[in-house]
Structure 1
């Protein structure tokens, strides 16, 4: 990928994170979280999509699990595979507690990302990852709900194309409440620490 395209991705992510959360989610010195606390500033997890098994699912199907929501696509050359690889390492560090987590990988490229394509892709990273797709209008509505953004780049001569997208990782607790926002550049141990709090009974703030 060209440096200019990487720069656009980075700038897009930074702009969304800064404009959406900086003023509302300032971390106090007493907070137990190491990531950005978005409790009360983001709607509950809610969607109706198709999973990588071809089944219609809703957010209710993942109640009881801590959900890591990430928007990406399978043809992504860099940030998506890197993020999913990092999340796999995070879950490994959690040990048995990782059974209480699901990675929800929502495609922003539903034309190419069929359930079968998504299944092969996410399964290559972690068995607790679920690929989700839907109609273009469903995907657009979901990204707007969580103030994410994506845009299809002009097609190349061979018919391929890239999709620029924000790269926030939205963390929802096991009741579907939005709790934290992470980025792919956050140290893995910060996510491990905060997930440990969310997954340990009686410890989550």
Structure 2
């Protein structure tokens, strides 16, 4: 699994790179704001797992890479705030998103729009965990329970102490 590397736009419209997020454990998840099932469940679970760390929760940052910029950009800030105030929403151009997805071997594709214009984005559900310096550490299965993720985070935090 490759180390953390990207250049995208955050929910505030600022250009950011992986370097901007050094110093904390990072959990990176790919999805989209109109997702009705996988994304809300996954982000809620990650927020729950992080909150369960108590005082150590501020040492973990969740990066949500939104792969549907057409619909995601206008609502990204509000969307991520529902799960955890510190959750970071990231998006970019189609080309930038494809590049980041390719780096982590994440698949996403757009289904044909329905008559009302709504469409689904098929995407991977795994969560990538990185150490404070951006080194890849763990791939978390999308079926993992919050308690299991919390245990993994505790181990990563302990290992990052040196």
Class of the TM-score when normalised by the shorter of the 2 chains: over 0.9
> Structure 1: which 5+ runs fail to align?
1-41
**Among candidates 17, 30, 51, match of residue 92 of structure 1:** 51
* Paired residue secondary structure (1:86): helix
CA distance in 1, matches of 2:135, 2:160: 16
CA distance in 1, matches of 2:160, 2:138: 18
Does the CA-based 8 Å contact 1:122-1:130 persist in structure 2?
yes
1:52 aligns with 2:11: yes
The TM-score, its normalising length taken from structure 2, stands at 0.96
Q: How many residues align?
A: 162
The 5-angstrom pairing of residues 118-133 of structure 1 reads 118-133=76-91
Regions of 4+ moved over 4 Å: 201-204
- In our comparison, the structure showing a higher alpha carbon Rg is 1
**Among candidates 109, 133, 136, match of residue 175 of structure 1:** 133
The 5-angstrom pairing of residues 91-110 of structure 1 reads 91-110=50-69
The TM-score, its normalising length taken from structure 1, stands at 0.76
> Structure 2: which 5+ runs fail to align?
none
Deviation, 1:183, is 2.2
Question: What is the CA RMSD across the aligned residues, in angstroms?
Answer: 1.3
